[in-house]
Amino acid sequence: MPALRYVRASLPLALLLVLPAATKADSGRGVDVAFDNALLQGRAAAGSSGDPRGTSWLRPGQRRSPAGLLYVCPLQPPSLADLAGWEYAAHLQLGWTGAFGDDGNALWNRYVRWDSGLVLGLLEVALRRPEDGSYASLRASRISSDNAFFDAAFGRAGSYKVQAFLRELPNGISDSARPIWSGIGSNVLTLLPELAPGASSSAEVAAVVAGASPQQLQVVRSKSGLGLDAWLTPRWIAHAKISEEQRSGARPFGGAFFYNFLFPGNAGVLETLRPVEDSTIALEAGLRYAGERWRADFAYDASFYRDRYRRLRFESPFALSPTRPGATSAPVYQGQFALEPDNDYHHVRAGLTRRLPWNGEFHVTAAAGRMSQDDGLIAPIDCSGTFGVDIDGSGVPSAANPLLHNCADWNTPAALSRDSADLRIDTYSFDSRLVLQPLPALQVRGGVRFHREDYRNAYLAYNPITGDYGYITENGAQASIQAGALGTWNPLTAASAITRVRSIPFDLQTQGANLGADWRLGERRSLGLQLDTQRDEPSNRERRRVDKDSLKLNYVDRSIDWLTLRANYTGFKQQGDRYVPNPYDFAYSSSLPGFVAPADGVPAFTVDALRKYDLADRREHKLDFSATIALADTANLSAGVRGDWNDYGAEIGRQAYDRSGVNLQWEWQPSPATQASVYVAADRARLVLANVADVEFGPDGSLGGPDYPDSARWWVFDKQRNRSAGIRIDHDFGRFRLDAGWNLVDARGITAYRFASPAALAYFADGLAGVREGRFPAMRYRVDSVNLGISLPLTPRFSLRVFDLFERGRVDDWHYLGLEAAQVIDHRVYSVGAPRGYAANLIGLLLDVRL
Amino acid sequence: MKRLYAIALLLASPFAAAGEFVDLRDAPAVGGDAAAGSAKVMVCVACHGPSGNAVVPAFPALAGQHAGYLYQSLAGFRRRADPASPMTAQVQTLSDQDLRDIAAYFAAQRRTAPIATATANAPGARLFRDGDPVRGIVPCQGCHGLDAQGHPQRMQAARYDYYPALAGQQSDYLVARLRHYRDSALADTSNARIMQGIAHNLDDTAIVDLAAWLATTPR
């Protein structure tokens, strides 16, 4: 795949490019990538075992955190060798892995790419020079060509640290793609030679899909970076970091040529495969000061997103035909999508903290940011010749043939109101807080905050060539099927068309305050209270003011030596001013001068009773309890119960969203040689939605009225149930160490529905014979895995690890029902088949050498 | 300098590392017999002064020191058997019970108070009380008590009897001991491991300041 070659070639280059910046950079805060992989899974080298000396020299048997949780037994430190004034430890783990069974399955390869062959389990080198605190380290691992990492650092304690890293991680998306185009991974999808653009039948397309070999789709993320921390003085620390993340691959996407389900044998709904070829460069730099009374933090963050492609072009195999008798459709088969625009982000922040009497602290932060994009805009349509409906058979747009349009009027940026996006969002934030401890057993705190987002500039969709406002719909397909339906408004030719003509600036101002206190009720009991209020003032939303108030209570009790109890409660209330169902009129053609209302009036934007869930009157109650029980000195039992209930007070819209869960975990560490744990967890979620279909495009938005009658109401009840469980044991027998585990993830979701009458359904081809409720087949995702490993020290320098991982997955998704039989249904083409279950086994043999 | 060199000889040198590591995190009370110990300290008082109140600055004061710390110090000299240390010969013929009795004896003696000239604002006092975050120095009082009389919890757990009282100790001895923790690779007890990490960031000025203040703080 060319895209992958591009990534692999660019990674070393990217690292070289960032090297010159090293002299200016820092990452005192470390890097943002976890350098681990499915092979390591946090495991130490084969020869490592627990250190019986424990975690601290201060007291014996310090096995638990203050909350009563068992600490993991630390590993034996590596034995250090001398090398010209340096101490070093290094080991290399090299070996072979083999994958068997359904090892090509996409779910098995979801975030890992197992290949059979040689692997670098881990190369780890650490050097340090006690004389001056200098150090250097290197970690590297490679499972397969797209799954590897490299992390290196050097520095001197208290002086500076330089860190560089490189990581490649695959994301397997599908193993059953059968696209009808060539050019997958690029931004130009050309129909395979067996198919003619705009002139193929459904059967011909189906034959091509049936004859195609399944392809694998994946997106590989490659991230490289360099950071520097510099201790300018013991109190001043400078840090900087630069990183680049590249994504490369392809994933399923859309391709619209109007609604095929409304127009059988016509239109086209295509599942294209879009490229993912982009790069994000992130910069961070800052300066921190830590004094006895003052602390300061000054930081600058930036990111620069660059997409390799500006648009995706694709061809449709199907012809379009007009609904108007006796006319013909123009040959429209070239589609396009705009891809993500290049964009820049800058953010500066300054924070100051002052120590106060009463063990207090005052903190203030001010920040400002800017997000901008000014990408060149693509033309509204990618056709040549004409589009629309030819009613006089001339094939030439004219006054006598007004429903046929010249592509030239729309297929260049000259058809836009400006050449580039020129859009920007500016943000400003201010945050302050005060903490005081007026009594030994009482801490009080309070704060105020302010945040503002200002949208700068807006886009007006206007074609100066034709005088139209709005945008051509569905690549011109709608106008080529429904004569005259371009999707645009024109004061002369379509004065009553209602269409979106303007971008909507969602400016937002938020201000809030909080007040809280923590009381120590006894030696080992505490009670906390926090009150918070926030006012959001959004622009161009259904409400101009939204108030959010919450109360949080928490209680911690450790008064019994062997028990830690925690209880938390949050009560939340959201309400606001008058709810306006349509604040967006200014963005539609109905607001333009010259607009002529339709004879039946301007259709209601939506039903008046709708309450969008982010602005609805919401009440929430959230509770959680947890207990950690110390069983003797070597074991823990932890249990938790939690619930979260939300009532949205909406007649139409989201009505309820409730979640609850329990978990139980047992951990046992009888000695540094043995660790074991067992856990089970279960949770449930319930989502209730209510809606109503618009049976008429009329001006009455009232629920129960002629346009939104009660007979068109429908409801969805979504229930999700998840279970997980696991057992793990790790024991050092002396001559060898054994680790074994079993894990289960089982998720099941059911979507049920109810509707008042068939009027509620947008598409009703099948007779329902009086049925008014039902449910879709269960969605299910279940993975069982068993792993077993043996680590065998051979000599003080050599050890061997043998492991086996067996995994079985099952997935049921009703969205794909029927696609096993046919991925082409009329003019609907599905490139990717249903995800499949699998049973796969991975074995490995790794030799660990202490260098 | 010669005086400090002499003290250094008394302490275990890195090359004397021998014997096993001693974990004091759960050490029991020493349980010696002070009366029996009084008959075994004739050699000791020759250098450490009557009742352990040393007058020669090179030798540590033993009077009023905690029994756990004294016992473990004596046991360390015997365990390491460092030929360069003059203490090696003194302890080789003593039994474990002798060491316990001697420790109990000196712990029961009263430290003759030095001239109390310590001031709360002295650099050593501030280091002992607050540490110095900038230099990475932790406050000593966490383990040796706000008044430098020993670990604050020494009455609650026997293991804290192995943390020494520092008030009224000989200044030269403290300087040598802290430098030893800082510069020597040897740490054959768990408490020495703690001190190794803490002394790592002590420069010579900090050590002298601490020792000067502790020596003039009443025991």
DSSP string of A405-472, one letter each residue: EEGGGTSSGGGSS-SB--EEEEEEEEEEEEEEEEETTEEEEEEEEEEEEEEE---B-EETTTTEEE--
Closest partner CB to B194 (pick from A58, A235, A290): A58
How do residues B94-128 score in pLDDT, each as one tens digit? 999 999 999 999 999 998 866 667 788 899 999 99
Quickly list H helices, chain B. Answer: 2-10, 34-38, 42-48, 67-80, 86-91, 96-108, 123-130, 141-144, 171-183, 190-199, 204-215
User: Distance, in angstroms, between A151 CA and closest chain B CA?
Assistant: 28
Across the A:B interface, residue pairs with CB atoms under 8 Å apart total 23
Residue range A177-194: average pLDDT?
Answer: 97
How do residues A309-358 score in pLDDT, each as one tens digit? 999 999 999 999 999 999 999 999 999 999 999 999 999 999 999 999 99
Nearest CA in chain B to A52: B23
Residue range A614-633: average pLDDT?
Answer: 95
Chain B residues close to A59, C-beta within 8 Å: 25, 159
Chain A residues close to B154, C-beta within 8 Å: none
In this predicted structure, the answer to whether residue A5 has a pLDDT above a threshold of 60 is: no
User: Distance, in angstroms, between A52 CA and closest chain B CA?
Assistant: 11
Q: What is the pTM of this model?
A: 0.85
Give the 3-state secondary structure of residue A193: coil
Q: Residue A817 corresponds to which tokens in the numbers above? A: 């029902």
CB A772 within 8 A of CB A756: yes
Whose CA is closest to A69, among A728, A626, A641? A626
CA distances to A420, A433, A496 from A478, in Å: 26, 57, 17
- The amino acid sitting at A16 is L
β partners of residue A658: A645, A686
Closest partner CB to B193 (pick from A57, A59, A235): A57
Q: What is the pLDDT of residue A133?
A: 87
Q: What is the mean pLDDT of chain A?
A: 92
ipTM: 0.83
Question: Residue A64 — pLDDT band, cuts 50, 70, 90?
Answer: confident
Binary contact (B25, A60; C-beta < 8 A)? yes
Place of tokens 């001895």: B173
Q: What is the DSSP letter of A65?
A: -
User: Distance, in angstroms, between B172 CA and closest chain A CA?
Assistant: 26
| Contact residues of B toward A, CB < 8 A | 23, 25-26, 133-136, 159, 190-191, 193-194
- Per DSSP bridges, beta strands A635-647 and A652-671 are antiparallel
Chain B residues close to A231, C-beta within 8 Å: none
Place of tokens 């169902």: A581
Nearest CA in chain B to A235: B134
Distance CA(A490)–CA(A214), nearest Å, equals 47
User: Distance, in angstroms, between A293 CA and closest chain B CA?
Assistant: 12
Binary contact (B25, A58; C-beta < 8 A)? yes
**CB-CB neighbours of B21 under 10 Å:** 12
Q: What is the pLDDT of residue B114?
A: 64
Question: Residue A87 — pLDDT band, cuts 50, 70, 90?
Answer: very high
Residue range A221-231: average pLDDT?
Answer: 95
Binary contact (A57, B194; C-beta < 8 A)? yes
The CB-side HSE value for A201 (13 A sphere, CA atoms) comes to 3
**CB-CB neighbours of B155 under 10 Å:** 10
Binary contact (B133, A292; C-beta < 8 A)? yes
Closest partner CB to A235 (pick from B26, B134, B190): B134
Which residues, numbered 145 to 174 in chain A, qualify as contacts with chain B under a Cβ-Cβ cut-off of 8 Å?
Answer: 158
Pick left, alpha or beta for residue A419 (phi over 0 → left; psi -120 to 50 → alpha; otherwise beta). Answer: alpha
Nearest CA in chain A to B163: A58
How do residues A537-585 score in pLDDT, each as one tens digit? 999 999 999 999 999 999 999 999 899 999 999 999 999 999 999 999 9
Q: What is the pLDDT of residue B15?
A: 32
User: Distance, in angstroms, between A132 CA and closest chain B CA?
Assistant: 12
Question: Residue A79 — pLDDT band, cuts 50, 70, 90?
Answer: confident
Distance CA(A757)–CA(A751), nearest Å, equals 19
- The amino acid sitting at A400 is A
Beta strands in A17-159 (DSSP E): 81-83, 86-101, 117-129, 134-144, 147-156
**CB-CB neighbours of B211 under 10 Å:** 23
CB A501 within 8 A of CB A461: yes
**Per-residue buried b or exposed e for A609-640, using 16+ beta carbons within 10 Å of the residue's own CB:** bbbbeebbbbebebbbebbbbbeeeebbbbeb
How do residues A702-714 score in pLDDT, each as one tens digit? 999 999 999 999 9
User: Distance, in angstroms, between B206 CA and closest chain A CA?
Assistant: 17
How do residues A433-485 score in pLDDT, each as one tens digit? 999 999 999 999 999 999 999 999 999 999 999 999 999 999 999 999 999 99
Q: Residue B5 corresponds to which tokens in the numbers above? A: 């060199």
Distance CA(A308)–CA(A425), nearest Å, equals 23
In this predicted structure, the answer to whether residue A637 has a pLDDT above a threshold of 90 is: yes
CA A559 to chain centre: 42
User: Distance, in angstroms, between A523 CA and closest chain B CA?
Assistant: 17
In this predicted structure, the answer to whether residue B58 has a pLDDT above a threshold of 90 is: no
Would an 8 Å CB–CB cutoff place A5 in contact with chain B?
no
Distance CA(A177)–CA(A170), nearest Å, equals 17
Distance CA(A26)–CA(A249), nearest Å, equals 31
Binary contact (A58, B133; C-beta < 8 A)? no
Closest partner CB to B25 (pick from A57, A234, A235): A57
Would an 8 Å CB–CB cutoff place A82 in contact with chain B?
no
Domain B2-215: state its class.
mainly alpha
How do residues A24-49 score in pLDDT, each as one tens digit? 323 334 345 677 777 776 454 445 67
Distance CA(B130)–CA(B110), nearest Å, equals 29
CB B129 within 8 A of CB B139: yes
User: Distance, in angstroms, between B107 CA and closest chain A CA?
Assistant: 23
Chain B residues close to A158, C-beta within 8 Å: 136
Distance CA(A390)–CA(A331), nearest Å, equals 10
| High-pLDDT (> 70) share of chain A, % | 94
Binary contact (A60, B159; C-beta < 8 A)? yes
Closest partner CB to A59 (pick from B25, B133, B193): B25
Would an 8 Å CB–CB cutoff place A59 in contact with chain B?
yes
- Per DSSP bridges, beta strands A828-829 and A268-270 are parallel
**Best B20, B137, B190 residue to mutate vs chain A (most A CBs within 10 Å):** B190
Chain B residues close to A288, C-beta within 8 Å: none
Cβ neighbourhood burial of B47 (10 Å; 0-12, 13-18, 19+): middle
Binary contact (B134, A57; C-beta < 8 A)? no
Chain B residues close to A60, C-beta within 8 Å: 23, 25-26, 159
Nearest CA in chain B to A59: B25
User: Distance, in angstroms, between A59 CA and closest chain B CA?
Assistant: 5
**Best A57, A58, A231 residue to mutate vs chain B (most B CBs within 10 Å):** A57
Q: What is the pLDDT of residue A766?
A: 58
- Per DSSP bridges, beta strands A147-156 and A268-270 are unpaired
User: Distance, in angstroms, between A350 CA and closest chain B CA?
Assistant: 23
CB B160 within 8 A of CB B191: no
Which comes out higher in pLDDT, residue B27 or A64? Answer: B27
Residue range A61-73: average pLDDT?
Answer: 82
- SS3 per residue for A697-763: CCCCCCECCCCECHHHEEEEEEEEEEEEEEEEEEEECCCCEEEEEEEEEEEEEEEEEEECCHHHCCC
Q: What is the pLDDT of residue A659?
A: 98
Distance CA(A726)–CA(A435), nearest Å, equals 42
Distance CA(B77)–CA(B99), nearest Å, equals 11
In this predicted structure, the answer to whether residue B159 has a pLDDT above a threshold of 80 is: yes
| DSSP state string for A18-30 | HGGGGGG---TT-
Most confident of A2-6, A233-237, A242-246: A242-246
Angle between helices B204-215 and B123-130 (to 10 degrees): 100
- The amino acid sitting at A31 is V
Would an 8 Å CB–CB cutoff place A578 in contact with chain B?
no
Nearest CA in chain B to A53: B23
Residue range B45-64: average pLDDT?
Answer: 90
Nearest CA in chain A to B193: A57
Q: What is the pLDDT of residue A100?
A: 94
Cβ neighbourhood burial of A535 (10 Å; 0-12, 13-18, 19+): middle
How do residues A394-431 score in pLDDT, each as one tens digit? 999 999 999 999 999 999 999 999 999 999 999 999 99
Residue range B143-167: average pLDDT?
Answer: 94
